Amino acid sequence: MDDCLGVPGGSALPGTACDDGDPNTTGETWDANCNCTGGLVDDCLGVPGGSALPGTACDDGDPNTTGETWDANCNCTGGLVDDCLGVPGGSALPGTTCDDGDINTVGDTWDANCNCVGIPAGSELVTLEITLDDQGSETTWEIRDETGTQVIQSGGPYADGQGGTVITETFPLVQTCYELVVLDAGGNGIADGGYTLYDSQSRRIITANGLFGSVSQTANGTDFCLPLSSQSLISSWCDRTDLVYANSTQIYASAQPGASGYQFWMFDPHGTYSRRVFSTTQSLRPTVLVTNPVPADLDLNVRVRALVGGNYTAFGQACVIRLNSGIGVAQMRDVVFNEGAATNFVLWPNPNRGEVIYLKLDGLGEEMQNITIDIHDMFGKRVFAQELDNRGDVFNHTIDLGSDLAPGLYLVNLRVNDMLFTQRMVRQ
């Protein structure tokens, strides 16, 4: 009788071992029909008939290796990646220190492109974080020198349709004084967004919401100086937006050994308020100030410096406080600047120094409008009211408030039929 190989009396009988010549099978035997069959071989990942075979590409999970393949024993191995100096597996990786050979720079590190870069001596890296609204193309910013005349750094505009996206800009600044200006070409701030400027130690220099018109800039010139000190409000009083506008409310500075007093700087980063107050103790009652009183229902930055040996230290990091009046001013302040999709409300000059105020509202349509103008101070007191009729797409109007209006922040509200438009006005 022939066996499965056609050999009379041979041993290649059904059930005995054979070789089908396929490297991807194993355990082959002759079946009852003299077919040599077996099961698929597991690959290096244990998958029967899989493609992870010796000699094929793999990933060993080590960022310092490259060109990995499965070897004959199913080990995934590769060669070491060259570092920024060309050394396989070396330690000169992006983010690590290096020396750019320039004695006028400090803090040299390898960047993502393996360039060794540093910052000028006497400088520090600061970071500006901006949370955009959907109109990123309207947002730009500038760091100006302390005179406000020379732009040192700038950025933007950004992409539209990216509301909630956080843009991070990092750049060196020589340790002196500067102004930060954030601009919105649409005149309606950054809806549900804002910005924060940090020093090299991630301490906040300025932090702001997006509730401004065309320009966000602190009042009275210089915004900040570098470097910052460690002085601040104590942690339990930093970022308190739940404070009550009452004479009993106090804020507290951290203790500075040898200090004979502390200066509290309270300011609106959008430019409507700025005041520095000295206290011989670590505490301050903001609401008892009579001259240039602290506004209610407004997010204020607070920075502190200590008086030591007759000299002030540098100001420290910014904290946020809000003194809540409970009389509804905050609701007025938070009204969106433009409820009409194509309507634009412009008020100038702003800040105002007693000049006539010009109002312009366009995009209204051609029908008759009933327009009510109300101006309130930050305590909710109405200081001006007027009702007018207007027909046409544009409303132009002038208001003369006289010279008796006290300096401070005011809210100019225009109600057009069932739409409300609000702008802040600063009286200086």
Q: Are residues 217 and 140 in the same domain?
A: yes
For 310-339, how does the pLDDT look when each residue is reduced to its tens digit (9 = 90+)? 999 999 999 999 998 764 433 333 333 343
For 190-226, how does the pLDDT look when each residue is reduced to its tens digit (9 = 90+)? 999 999 999 999 999 999 999 988 899 998 667 899 9
What total of structural domains would you count in the chain? Answer: 3
Distance CA 123, CA 153 (A): 14
Q: Are residues 172 and 310 in the same domain?
A: yes
Residue 243 lies inside a defined structural domain of this protein: yes
Distance CA 192, CA 334 (A): 11
* Residue 268: predicted pLDDT: 93
Residue 62 lies inside a defined structural domain of this protein: no
Mean pLDDT in the chain?
Answer: 86
Q: Are residues 305 and 347 in the same domain?
A: no
Q: Are residues 144 and 108 in the same domain?
A: no
Residue 74 lies inside a defined structural domain of this protein: no
Write the CATH number for 227.
2.60.40.10
| Better-scored residue on pLDDT, 162 or 333 | 162
**Which domain-ending residue is among 279, 305, 324?**
324
Residue 383 exposure: Cα atoms within 13 Å on the Cβ side: 22
* Residue 66: predicted pLDDT: 81
Report if pTM > 0.85.
no
Q: Are residues 113 and 136 in the same domain?
A: no
Q: Are residues 359 and 391 in the same domain?
A: yes
**Span 60-64, average pLDDT:** 82
On the question of pLDDT at 406 being above 70, the answer is yes
**Span 230-240, average pLDDT:** 95
Residue where the block lists tokens 């007759």: 310
Q: Are residues 103 and 145 in the same domain?
A: no
For 13-57, how does the pLDDT look when each residue is reduced to its tens digit (9 = 90+)? 888 999 888 877 778 888 989 999 887 777 888 888 788 888 899
Query: Minimum mean pLDDT among 88-102, 245-259, 362-376: which range?
Result: 362-376
Q: Are residues 226 and 309 in the same domain?
A: yes
On the question of pLDDT at 291 being above 80, the answer is no
Q: Which residues, listed in sequence order, are joined to residue 391 by a DSSP beta bridge?
A: 368
Side chain identity, residue 385: A
Residue 173 lies inside a defined structural domain of this protein: yes
**Span 234-262, average pLDDT:** 94
Q: Are residues 196 and 114 in the same domain?
A: no
CB 182 within 8 A of CB 207: no
Residue 35 lies inside a defined structural domain of this protein: no
Residue 43 lies inside a defined structural domain of this protein: no
Alpha helices by DSSP H, listed for 131-203, are: none
Q: Are residues 222 and 180 in the same domain?
A: yes
On the question of pLDDT at 341 being above 70, the answer is no
Residue 383 lies inside a defined structural domain of this protein: yes
Distance CA 362, CA 344 (A): 5
Residue 213 lies inside a defined structural domain of this protein: yes
Q: Are residues 195 and 311 in the same domain?
A: yes
Residues of the domain holding 420: 334-427
**Which domain-ending residue is among 276, 293, 324?**
324
CA distances from 97 to 108, 109, 202 (A): 6, 4, 20
Structure letter (DSSP) for residue 200: T
For 117-157, how does the pLDDT look when each residue is reduced to its tens digit (9 = 90+)? 888 888 999 999 999 999 999 999 999 998 888 999 999 99
Name the band, by pLDDT with cuts 50, 70 and 90, for residue 356: confident
Quickly count: other Cβ atoms within 10 Å of residue 416's Cβ. 20
**Which domain-ending residue is among 303, 324, 345?**
324
Q: Are residues 211 and 97 in the same domain?
A: no
Distance CA 316, CA 305 (A): 6
On the question of pLDDT at 365 being above 80, the answer is no
Distance CA 212, CA 270 (A): 6
Highest mean pLDDT out of 95-99, 289-293, 406-410: 95-99
